[in-house]
Amino acid sequence: MAPGKHGLIATAVTVVCAVTVLAAPGTALASPGPAPSPSASPSASSSASPAPAPAPAPAPNKDLEAVREKLDKLYHDAAVATDAYNAAEEKAEKQSAEIVELAKKIVEGQRKLDELKRRAGAAAAAQYRTGGLPDEAQLLLSDDPQDFLDGTGRVLQGQRATKGLLREVTDTQQDLKQYAEDASAQWKKLESHRKAKAAARKKIKQQIAAAEQLESQLEKQEKERLAKLERQAAYQAQTAWLDSGILDEINGKASEQGKKAVKFATAQIGKPYVWGAEGPDAYDCSGLTSQAWADAGHPIPRTSQEQWKQLKHVDVKAMRPGDLIIYFDDASHVGMYVGDGAIVHAPRPGRTVTLAGAGSMPILGVVRPDA
């Protein structure tokens, strides 16, 4: 182990222990008690009253490990659906805003068209008052040479004005038609995104309900052992990550905006995870990171998948506080690096915003909002 590694690991573990007690790797978990003997001695059975039925034996560790893996999958699927929900919501909000802008353009265009029609009507009325003769005919019938010369300029101006008016009426009518078609297309997209949101919402609720039902079937002692297994798995993953010597390489300093983002995110510690939430009272994982960077004056995409797609990728060894660590192959989770091998994140339903080891989950990569 590299010099000073013990101190680095102790620092990272201390950060994690600030919010939860971690079971040390290799700690023996309570094993099930011995099963009752399948048969009693004849004398005992004849001389004593029947013993009460023994309590069900706790589930073996391997069974609880299977439960833990099942819960991880259910909550992971819920996280994927949450990202889909958030993406559909973001798109729906964008479509709604575009529809509002198009509606404003339609209203303004209609006002303009009405004014153009009024002007055209006024020109037609003026022609009627002069006996229905166009300006050119009236000019030719004039007996006054000076009137003829003056009138020539007016006729030319009138012709240009009439052509301009007709062109403007036509352009405005075409604009209104295009605005109406665009608005119709945006409505269709909005409806599609609403359906996507509804489907994602349904899946989220199904996954969370299945997880809660699975947990509800466990006895209190089993729940405690399950929680210990979860902590041990996270601790072992974090220890393996630290043992790679990664912290010897990471020494980046936070930018000013990064410091603000970290300050905002850590101030939310203790607030509950709620899927689709962006604060101020609750957050999901990308709701926390997006709001932290928005507070720092640098808006970023709403979902972890879009954060992974759109933000600049940096090497893990080059990351600095404020950078975002994207987890799992499908970019379904995100946390904010705060330094010393730790992240702040909103884990999953039933949990609160907390500190955790940066290597406690499979890392897909790191992105930098203010690159």
Catalytic annotation, residues: 285, 333, 345
Q: Six-digit token pair at 340?
A: 């010393």
Q: Six-digit token pair at 287?
A: 């709701």
Query: DSSP secondary structure string, 232-243?
Result: HHHHHHHHHHHH
Q: How far apart, in whole angstroms, are the C-alpha atoms of residue 313 and residue 211?
A: 33
Q: What is the dihedral of CA 85, 90, 91, 95, to 10 degrees?
A: 130
Q: Six-digit token pair at 146?
A: 């000076």
Query: DSSP secondary structure string, 246-281?
Result: HHHH--PPPPHHHHHHHHHHHHTTTPBB-TT-BSSS
Q: Six-digit token pair at 28?
A: 């023996």
End-to-end CA distance of the chain: 33
Q: How far apart, in whole angstroms, are the C-alpha atoms of residue 188 and residue 95?
A: 9
Q: How far apart, in whole angstroms, are the C-alpha atoms of residue 335 and residue 324?
A: 6
> Tokens 């037609």 — which residue?
124
User: Which helix (H) or strand (E) segment is 355 a member of?
Assistant: strand 354-357
For the chain, the residue count is: 371
Q: How far apart, in whole angstroms, are the C-alpha atoms of residue 326 and residue 314?
A: 11
Q: Six-digit token pair at 187?
A: 């409505």
Q: How far apart, in whole angstroms, are the C-alpha atoms of residue 301 and residue 294?
A: 10
Query: DSSP secondary structure string, 280-328?
Result: SS-B-HHHHHHHHHHHTT----SSHHHHHHHSEEE-GGG--TT-EEEET
Q: How far apart, in whole angstroms, are the C-alpha atoms of residue 293 and residue 300?
A: 7
Helix crossing, 285-295 with 256-267: angle to 10°? 130
DSSP state of 316: G
